Structure 1
Amino acid sequence: MAFRPAFFFSSEGWPQGRFDFEKGGSSSGFGSKYSFEGTENGSGDTDGHDKFPKGPIAAFVLVLGVCALVVYFAIDRVESHDEPVWTSSGQFDFRLFPKGYMQRSEYYSLHPDFVKKWNAVCADNLQCESDNLFQVEIPIFDQVIDGEQLKLFTFSDGYWRRIPLSDDYGQPGKVSSYVEIPRVDNLIVVESPVNGQSLGFYGLLPKVYEDSLMKHLSTHVVGEVMIELSESSGQLVIRSNLDQDGAKVGNQELLQLTGSESDFRRLLSDAVIGESYLTEISRVVKSQHWGGILLDLEAFPSDLEPPLVTFLADLGQRNEMLAKQIIVVLSMETRQRLETEWLELIESSDEVWLRYPPPALGPLELLDRTLLSLAKEGSDLSKVRLMANLAAQPEHSTITAASRLLEEIASISIQHGGDEILTSQKVTLHLTENDSEVYWDEDAYSVALSHKANTYFVNNRFTVDFIMDFISFWDLRGLAIEAVDSSEISEPMMTRILAWQEDVVDSPEKPFGPYLKPCWIVNGGTFSSACWTSGSANNPVIWTTPDKPGVYAIKLLVSDGETFVTDERWLRVQESDINGLNPTSVGSTPTTTPTSVPTPEATPTPTPEANATATPEPTPEASATATPDATPEPTPTSTPSPTATPPSGPPGPAPN
């Protein structure tokens, strides 16, 4: 990402024993204490005003006061036990609460006397272990408007864990769930402000799609805020790729927190320095109206990951940051290392951007197992966003454009067993690199290209389909697009992403299989295998030359199902019974440079797929659309002019 210098902050000669940015600078404590009053109906609505804490607040641990209001839930006992007795506190002491949520119910906890009785009865009774599932109904505040965004949490072992709500419960003013008593001994209902899935973007927006993207964009990383330390001073350097003359900064525009490893080690190990930077970062973000901070954990050594999580949690609790976004980027490997800090990371962040795994690892299956495990542990997956780099993913090359990869494959080789090509002769045509292949990788859910003993995975509209379908299936926050160079995103990919955002796509599509095989077109003679037909072996092919001499054009098309690239050769065919002539050699015939022909829609409508794991082969529709135009008429001599005869079958690289 190219940044333009924007702002610079520095302070020299700091007082002894203090690390601050400016005299009289504001600071805020970590955590707060809130209280609210409820009406007699228990709704929490007093005088028509919201009295409950809003935004990211801290979670309750203690119930203050000796007397507490005893609230009996409507309990549908699954097994025969005394009904649990729940208490609702009127004043709370808060701890870290899932960031970005609003409280939508009282905080309920099991009465201590009930817990004691339960433990006494069940001390020597193994039956209690399977006898403890209860249905609970939790009253919610009257201010709740969108019930779809309500979530149920419990505080356990130092973390907030999400409990699934019952889908078939329709009582107004309440939500319901099944909980294990007394393992679940406290409950609270919260509301997420997020409505539906959205897009995040890291890098430069493609100009042609800027307006369309902005309708669905919730987060755009447009610059960086860099930490720089010296022996006696510290500074923040802000760079942005926004046009400073007409820059508009708002809730969508975020800064990435960066800095050297040595500076971060010093910051994280010195409480005074850390406190000063927490204060200054939050002050700058608020005063300049940035939307928040993003931190990429992959930019730091693994031993710094846990303290960085704590640093972000402290930053998110600053008063200036309560309405700002805190976003963390991490890979699957980092998530596994942060197993013990994961719930804290989810709680203290507005979003976690989980990098889409490399195609060779079987990304969707790996993600599926991981998310299932996290959901069982009570993680709030609605805060997770998949971050995908939509460029090609080579193993041994810097090539990131699918068209360039295809151009390397699209090279014609001709074998005919002599110095000249004769009429009615069998000629073998194949790719110059005969082991090159384009195919659909079922584990990677991606088009793969094998070339010169290397494998390349191409992210195109078909991979995007399965990623978006996976996001919808797991009800994640959405897709984050990582594109330092906006040209890495093809038009069909972006069109497909926007189609998913606008709910006009029901299921993912795979590329039409025969499109992935080389297609040979000639304006005379016959081929041993028809172009773009199921079951055809298109490399190599046998070309039976025509029975009339002349100059004939042979065209090769190679495709990843979305982009079509061509190579072309002109061949002179001689009369088979003429001797003593010196025909034009194959090697000296004119050739053309391979050209890429991107197409928005290169695939017939396939059989719909139920979800991201179901992958039946699509059935192409018959079409009269002509395949790519045959080569132009050559005019080398008085030989007969060739006539284009495109193959029959499914449409070529043109919109369906």
Structure 2
Amino acid sequence: MRDRDPRPIRPNAIRYDDDAELDDLEDRDGGSLPPRPPGRPPTGGGGFQPGRNELRVIGVIVGLAVVIGALLLSPASALLRGGTPTTATGIVTKARTTMPALPQGVEALSALYDIQGDRSLPGPVALTVQLKQATKDASNLAFYTYANNEWRRLATVSPSDDGRGAKGQLDAIPENIAVFRRAALAYQLGAIVGSGETLDPASGTPGIVSVLGGEPTSGDDGVQLSERLPTDLQGRYLGVSSSTSSGAAAINRILADPAATKRHGDAILGAASTTRAAGVHIDYQGLEPSRRAAFTAFVQQLADRLKTEQRGLVVTVPTTPGGEPSAYDWTAIENAATAVWMRAPADPAAYYDQLEAALRVRRDNGINLKKVSLVIDRRSRERAGDLIRAVSLRDALTVASAIGTRLEQGIAPGDAVTLSGLNIDQDTGNSGMRWDDRSRAVTFAYAGRGGARTIWIENRYSVAFRLDLLKRYGLGGVVIDAAAKDDALPDLWNTVAAFVEDGTVKLEQPYGPYLQPSWRAAEGQVEAAARSGAAVWRAPSRSGVYDITLIVSDGVVFVGQQLSLRVAAATATPTPSGTSTRTPTAGGATSSATATASATPTRAPGATATATPAR
């Protein structure tokens, strides 16, 4: 067992989910897994599915889920383990006849059920709670539990069983549970998806959903719509973006000509009407400061024309220093638009410095920040030189779990083989997985193609700090970018939903030992070097092919890659020696050899150095 991370915890006690069945993994596979945080029961949770070269340890190796229909119609009667129906193990539920005073602004849709019996079932746990009255309205529904004289929100839920119940997933079974609906939200929630994408059902019911499906065009001053854009947006906003270099060049040229600007506005209105959009979302990045007056007039005119059609207008503004020239007149945009969405800096290392400085300036200038929502992207970020690009959580952890060996020859029984986490091995100049106080995120730096690279991982821990910033500066809401259903991205929805409903946000760091790499071997002994990202594997005493797995985590999800190594005893290879006689050849020369063999031991090569999925 490794010692706990000595770094201070900021600012609250550590809390962790999705660490299901670590003990079982260690027992069955002989690996060295990090210790579980003291005082927490075994739990589990959601996350992405494994790709070709990565393994999600939770749910793939373990594959254990518990579903309890304990509170719907026949309490504790339907227990599913790993998808197979079994009998519930002593779980009994009972509805209370009275309920403690409810939090302000919530309505109880169910009784408060006490849950008795063995509640230490391995997670994740899917609970279905019977409702007092059937409903199919999923807005603002959540599980709550009552403990220590206060209500605590557990998770977002959705109607089930034709509206007679509400179903949700928890990390562990609570002592009691009820379903509440919050009547009024503390913060607004918006979402951004791409054309052809489906909004993640776990997002709840965002007030505004933007479908990015249009881009300014230079040729006709119009809007190029994506072929994947639905013909009927069904109450969502049509998003028009200049995120590409060609789109930015087009809108800067359009805004330089009033006639072109008018034609562009006409095209947007036509597209909104054709797609039956509820409104328009303008996300024009890269505007030149000289276009300030033209862009302001464009927004004001577009807002007025949309209003006559009973459509809204959302305008995205970037984070720009308050003292520098900018194309975005905050006061005018705020007055014209239905809502203002603020994009944070793309560089995680500068995120808080730049964003807080910009918000202070706007607040001091009298901007009503209640009308501003902060855009939070679910994707992680990778820096390579001056380039910063978005990457998925799956891709980030796949990079971190790359595995190799420092082999110069084959492996014989009993050999000591040095294993390396190629991108987290600190002995080779990488930083290893760590929490970064400046970016408030898990990060690691490594030597990639073309030079040094750094990845910052977005997960529920980093998002909590972003929500806290939003709260401290008095912004009115949060917008989740990349909000489509995508198993390669982190599950942030419970964290976001709790904040939107009542402003609750817990600032926590991942449990330190979970950020340290863990090694597992099918056979043989693994001696992990403390915190270095390297290990030594002592090969078994017999020949064969053996699997080694490197497991890494961002503190929420565990992912690994597997390497197969061949162990073979030394073999004898003939070494030519003796006398030669010449025989005729096609060219007239003679050449032949008679040899006597002397044994020279050689080793079979170690097996593949490419990662393969574990089974």
Count residues in correspondence: 386
Quick check: 1:292 aligned with 2:310?
no
Q: Deviations over 1:528-577 (max 9, x none)?
A: 448xxxxx32433344566x5565543222333324122233353879xx
Structure 1 residue 371: Cα displacement:
1.6
1:378 — aligned with what? 366
8 A contact 1:359–1:457 mirrored in 2: no
1:304 — aligned with what? 291
SS at match of 1:372: helix
SS at match of 2:549: strand
Structure 1 residue 491: Cα displacement:
4.8
Quick check: 1:456 aligned with 2:443?
no
Q: Distance in 1 between matches of 2:396 and 2:562?
A: 13
Structure 1: segments with no counterpart, 5+ residues = 1-192, 531-535, 596-630, 633-656
Q: Distance in 2 between matches of 1:407 and 1:219?
A: 31
Taking only aligned residues, the RMSD between alpha carbons, in angstroms, comes to 4.3
Structure 1 residue 256: Cα displacement:
1.9
Q: Distance in 2 between matches of 1:255 and 1:340?
A: 18
8 A contact 2:562–2:611 mirrored in 1: yes
SS at match of 2:367: coil
Q: Distance in 1 between matches of 2:230 and 2:429?
A: 48
Quick check: 1:572 aligned with 2:572?
no
Quick check: 1:389 aligned with 2:389?
no
SS at match of 1:443: coil
8 A contact 1:550–1:574 mirrored in 2: yes
Q: Decide whether aligned partners of structure 1 residues 370 and 482 sit closer, same or farther in structure 2, where only a CA change above 3 A counts.
A: same
8 A contact 2:547–2:565 mirrored in 1: yes
SS at match of 2:187: coil
Quick check: 1:440 aligned with 2:443?
no
SS at match of 2:468: helix
Amino acid at match of 1:537: R
Quick check: 1:352 aligned with 2:352?
no
Q: Decide whether aligned partners of structure 1 residues 324 and 240 sit closer, same or farther in structure 2, where only a CA change above 3 A counts.
A: farther
SS at match of 2:360: helix
Scaled by the length of structure 2, what TM-score is found? 0.52
Structure 2: segments with no counterpart, 5+ residues = 1-183, 571-598
Task: Find 1:256's aligned residue among 236, 240, 248.
Answer: 240
Q: Distance in 2 between matches of 1:332 and 1:305?
A: 15
Structure 1 residue 213: Cα displacement:
3.2
Structure 1 residue 379: Cα displacement:
0.9
Scaled by the length of structure 1, what TM-score is found? 0.49
Q: Distance in 2 between matches of 1:458 and 1:218?
A: 26
Amino acid at match of 1:331: P
8 A contact 1:428–1:540 mirrored in 2: yes
8 A contact 2:212–2:241 mirrored in 1: no
Amino acid at match of 1:201: I
8 A contact 1:254–1:294 mirrored in 2: yes
Structure 1 residue 381: Cα displacement:
0.6
2:187 — aligned with what? 196
8 A contact 1:222–1:241 mirrored in 2: no
8 A contact 2:563–2:612 mirrored in 1: yes
Alignment of 1:299-378 (within 5 A): 299-318=286-305, 320-321=307-308, 323-333=310-320, 336-338=324-326, 341-378=329-366
Structure 1 residue 354: Cα displacement:
1.6
Q: Distance in 2 between matches of 1:410 and 1:369?
A: 36
Alignment of 1:183-582 (within 5 A): 196-204=187-195, 207=198, 210-213=200-203, 215-224=205-214, 241-244=228-231, 247-250=232-235, 252-256=236-240, 268=255, 285=272, 289-318=276-305, 320-321=307-308, 323-333=310-320, 336-338=324-326, 341-396=329-384, 400-415=391-406, 420-421=411-412, 423=414, 426-432=416-422, 434-436=428-430, 437-452=432-447, 453-483=452-482, 487=486, 490-494=489-493, 496-502=495-501, 506-524=505-523, 526-529=525-528, 536-543=530-537, 548-549=541-542, 551=544, 553-561=547-555, 562-570=557-565, 572=567
Q: Deviations over 1:427-451 (max 9, x none)?
A: 4332345334222222112222322
Q: Decide whether aligned partners of structure 1 residues 465 and 341 sit closer, same or farther in structure 2, where only a CA change above 3 A counts.
A: same
Amino acid at match of 2:513: P
8 A contact 1:413–1:429 mirrored in 2: yes
Structure 1 residue 283: Cα displacement:
7.7
Percentage of matched positions with identical amino acids: 18
Q: Distance in 2 between matches of 1:553 and 1:257?
A: 47
Q: Deviations over 1:203-222 (max 9, x none)?
A: 25864x54443512423235
Q: Deviations over 1:512-543 (max 9, x none)?
A: 2222222112355554448xxxxx32433344
8 A contact 2:412–2:567 mirrored in 1: yes
SS at match of 1:332: coil
Deviates more, 1:456-465 or 1:479-488: 479-488
Q: Decide whether aligned partners of structure 1 residues 257 and 448 sit closer, same or farther in structure 2, where only a CA change above 3 A counts.
A: closer
Q: Decide whether aligned partners of structure 1 residues 408 and 368 sit closer, same or farther in structure 2, where only a CA change above 3 A counts.
A: closer
8 A contact 2:522–2:547 mirrored in 1: yes
Q: Distance in 2 between matches of 1:429 and 1:283?
A: 60
Q: Distance in 2 between matches of 1:260 and 1:418?
A: 54
Q: Decide whether aligned partners of structure 1 residues 581 and 388 sit closer, same or farther in structure 2, where only a CA change above 3 A counts.
A: farther
Structure 1 residue 594: Cα displacement:
4.1
Structure number with greater CO (CA < 8 Å, separation at least 6) is 2
8 A contact 2:459–2:491 mirrored in 1: yes
Larger radius of gyration: 1
Q: Decide whether aligned partners of structure 1 residues 309 and 563 sit closer, same or farther in structure 2, where only a CA change above 3 A counts.
A: farther
Q: Decide whether aligned partners of structure 1 residues 556 and 582 sit closer, same or farther in structure 2, where only a CA change above 3 A counts.
A: farther
